[in-house]
Amino acid sequence: MVPLPSKDHYAFGFHKPETYVYKSKKGLDMSVERDISYQKLEPVWMRDIRGKAYDIFFSKKMPSWGVSLHDLSFDDMYYYIKPVESQVSKWKKLPKDIKDTYDRIGIPEMEKKFLSGVSAQYESEVVYKSVQKTLSAKGVIFADMDTALREYPELVRAYFGKIVPSSDNKFAALNTSVWSGGSFIYVPKNVRIELPLQAYFRINAANMGQFERTLIIADEGSFVHYVEGCTAPIYSTDSLHSAVVEIFVKKGARVRYTTVQNWSTNVYNLVTKRARVEEEGIMEWVDGNLGSKITMKYPSVYLVGAKAHGEVLSIAYAGHGQTQDAGGKAIHLAPETTSQIISKSIARNGGRTSYRGMVKMIHGIGKSKSKVVCDALLIDDMSRSDTYPTMDIQEASAISEHEASVSKINDDQLFYLTSRGIDQQQATSMIVNGFIEPIVKELPLEYAVELNRLIELQMEGSVG
Amino acid sequence: MGDNMEKIVRLIEKNIYKEEFVVSKDKEMTIVFVCTGNNQDVDITIRLHGNGSRVWIYGLAMGSPKSKIFIHTSQIHESPYTVSNLLIKSVVPEAATFHFQGNILVTKKAKRADAYQKNQNILLKENAKAETSPQLEIENSDVKCSHGATTMPIPEDEIWYMKTRGISDISARKLFIEGFVDDILSNIPDRQRKEIQI
């Protein structure tokens, strides 16, 4: 194992001077929301949606459950920053300091590895995008949301806000009213995209809220794997990240959505992710939460067609001052639907992890099956772990299972490893990596490597 | 039964029932409760107060059709070396609702605590409902704590097995239910067990 720098060293904790063409004023009022729409020259219907969501946002109360969000101030944030004049399609044309930032995360290497299209988000908008020709030849649309709204308004209009309406929750309303950036993917019938599509993004301005809006439509019999990874520089004031992701899985299609989130530890990460799965469709969420101050994220699958399948795999790591409130939801609305939620969490150095989940099976859906497993590892006495699952079963022929466990690192395992000459720290790190292995092996290689290294880094100095 | 052991049996008929048990140092307690009413809200709290205290909790809800039963339990580990084990079972008939909310709280002081919680529900008819939320709140790392919950119909392969041995469908189902609830009822002394009808 490679020795790593000290435990408090945050690998991506740097930031570059801000360069932007347009920046909205601080805080949110009617004019900010209008400004965003005007700056982007959006169609009238989108302006209407933003306007309505704006009202809903103010009429809704903060969630009364879960993590306390009283430190969050909506008035201290910038809601829209437009980074450079227009989008660039060539890597070379990117401004130097933006390119520098990406170099440090390692985007160019990724390109060399022929990963499908890199669409990187810097500040509020996608500034760099290189969709391979093969993708467009197959009729696949992979664009940022703003471009999609301009070029395919009807397609966007038909699906936008249909699974996550703005009245769903306060943060969905906020996102709908001030969204900018995010990805749009349309995969035509029976098209399979073998390489994962990726978008890298990163918050760079202090107090900047990022409100991406992602929409994925997988038409009948298609397949797509979308990967989203975030690293953010450290700032002294709080930033808010509140994205909305909507995914439509049509008959027999399969979508996998992978996220590795490593925001710096002052970011509020409050995300609404939901997928609607039709007949024989498969939806898989793979979700890694390592950074942020507070994360509240419960990827959901709505199984609306017969034999649909939904899966949520989630890892959470909470270090000092962090709260990871993650989990998953599976709503069974059709016969013979199946779902599986696997959650692993690690709390260390005063961190707090929670699993919060929901399995619902409505009456009359016949034989359906659901399984939930959540395991938590507590490294020391300062940390805390909670499990809050709910299973609402209204169908007598349905089968639901749930199991959860909370434990510390097994003394026997530690003894076994140390007796073979491995020092205690390395042994601990090995056990933790083994604990999260079932989920890490589902990640694309680069992410698995990155995640393993991050866990190792976090485990430095955790013993003694 | 030794001096350190205590067995408490409650046949709960009241609609609203609340009780708290405190287990003191090195004591071992077994609590068995059976809900026999139709519209019930039962709240049982167990505080493992003394060092090395241990508790076994068994609960059963057998509602009648259209009944509504809510069971709420709390296992609070306040001291080191405490052990708690909970098993709640329910058989939910036609149009009935069963609701279970179980809490395990392991406080900072409760080193080496071992807590377990299990909830199993059988839905008899299509319009029976069960909602279960087993919850863990762990503030200490040196613990062993887990829970499990299942909700399902009577497994048809087990009925099929009995039927191939010449047992009629109806008695096979009856046998299965008897076996299912026996995990709870076998903990009740015989003279009290007579009072319970299933």
How crowded is residue A371: how many other Cβ atoms within 10 Å of its Cβ? 18
Q: Which residues of B touch A432 (CB under 8 A)?
A: none
Tell me whether residue B191 is in a domain. Answer: no
Q: Which residues of A touch B145 (CB under 8 A)?
A: 405-407
Domain span at residue B138 reads 5-154
Question: What's the predicted TM-score (pTM) here?
Answer: 0.81
How many contacts, defined by CB atoms under 8 Å, are there between A and B?
112
Give the pLDDT score at A58.
87
Q: CB of A385 within 8 Å of any CB in chain B? A: yes
Which element (helix H / strand E) includes B23? strand B16-23
Give the pLDDT score at A457.
66
Q: Is the model more confident about B194 or about B18?
A: B18
Interface test with B, best of A343, A378, A401 (most B CBs within 10 A): A378
Query: Does A124 score more than 60 pLDDT?
Result: no
Share of chain A above pLDDT 90, in %: 34
Give the pLDDT score at A97.
54
Query: Does A220 score more than 60 pLDDT?
Result: yes
Give the pLDDT score at A19.
59
Mean pLDDT score, A153-175: 92
Nearest to B87 by CA among B30, B42, B131: B30
Question: Residue B71 and residue B19: Cα distance in Å, rounded?
Answer: 12
Q: CB of A391 within 8 Å of any CB in chain B? A: yes
Taking only the tens place, the pLDDT of each residue in A21-72 is 566 667 777 677 677 777 777 888 998 999 899 899 989 888 887 777 777 7
Give the pLDDT score at A125.
43
Question: Residue A309 and residue A298: Cα distance in Å, rounded?
Answer: 17
* Chain B residue with minimum CA distance to A398: B152
What letter does residue A86 receive in the DSSP assignment? Answer: S
Query: Does A84 score more than 80 pLDDT?
Result: no
Query: Does A295 score more than 60 pLDDT?
Result: yes
Q: Is the model more confident about A231 or about A403?
A: A403
Task: Render the burial of B35-59: b for 16+ CB within 10 Å, e for the rest.
Answer: bbbeebbbebebbbbbbbbbbbbbb
pLDDT band at A81 (very low <50, low <70, confident <90, very high): low
A386·B129 Cβ contact <8 A: no
pLDDT band at A155 (very low <50, low <70, confident <90, very high): very high
Mean pLDDT score, A379-393: 88
Mean pLDDT score, A426-437: 87
Share of chain B above pLDDT 70, in %: 97
Mean pLDDT score, A423-435: 87
Range with the lowest mean pLDDT among A347-361, B20-34, B132-146?
Answer: B132-146
Shortest Cα distance, chain A CAs vs residue B186, angstroms: 25
pLDDT band at A244 (very low <50, low <70, confident <90, very high): very high
Mean pLDDT score, A352-381: 91
Tell me whether residue B194 is in a domain. Answer: no
Q: CB of B61 within 8 Å of any CB in chain A? A: no
Question: What φ, ψ does residue B108 adopt, rounded to 5°?
Answer: -60, -35
CB B115 within 8 A of CB B75: yes
pLDDT band at B16 (very low <50, low <70, confident <90, very high): very high
Within 8 A by CB and 6+ apart from B21, the residues are B8, B29, B31, B44, B45, B46, B47, B55
Domain residue ranges of chain A, discontinuous segments joined by +:
22-414, 415-464
Give the pLDDT score at B89.
95
**DSSP-derived secondary structure for A323-377:** EEEEEEEEEE-STT-EEEEEEEEEE-TT-EEEEEEEEEE-TT--S-EEEEEEEEE
Average model confidence (pLDDT) for chain A? 79
Average model confidence (pLDDT) for chain B? 91
Q: Is the model more confident about A210 or about A370?
A: A370
B142·A408 Cβ contact <8 A: yes
Q: Is the model more confident about A92 or about A226?
A: A226
Give the pLDDT score at A106.
52
Interface test with B, best of A353, A406, A408 (most B CBs within 10 A): A406
Kindly calculate the radius of gyration of chain A based on its CA atoms and give it in whole angstroms. Answer: 22
How crowded is residue A92: how many other Cβ atoms within 10 Å of its Cβ? 6
Give the pLDDT score at A100.
58
Mean pLDDT score, A365-393: 89
Tell me whether residue B180 is in a domain. Answer: no
Most confident of A86-100, A324-338, B136-150: A324-338
ipTM of the complex: 0.75
Taking only the tens place, the pLDDT of each residue in B114-140 is 999 999 999 998 889 999 988 888 887
Range with the lowest mean pLDDT among A204-213, A411-420, B8-17, B78-87?
Answer: A204-213
Query: Look-up: residue for tokens 């400004």?
Result: A35
Residue A379: alpha-carbon gap to chain centroid: 25
Tokens for A231, please give them. Answer: 């690293």
pLDDT band at A309 (very low <50, low <70, confident <90, very high): very high
Query: Does B18 score more than 90 pLDDT?
Result: yes
Residue A387: alpha-carbon gap to chain centroid: 21
pLDDT band at A93 (very low <50, low <70, confident <90, very high): low
Q: How many domains, chain B?
A: 1
Share of chain B above pLDDT 90, in %: 71
Among the partner residues A397, A400, A407, nearest to B144 by beta-carbon distance: A407
Query: Does A203 score more than 80 pLDDT?
Result: no
Mean pLDDT score, A310-321: 91
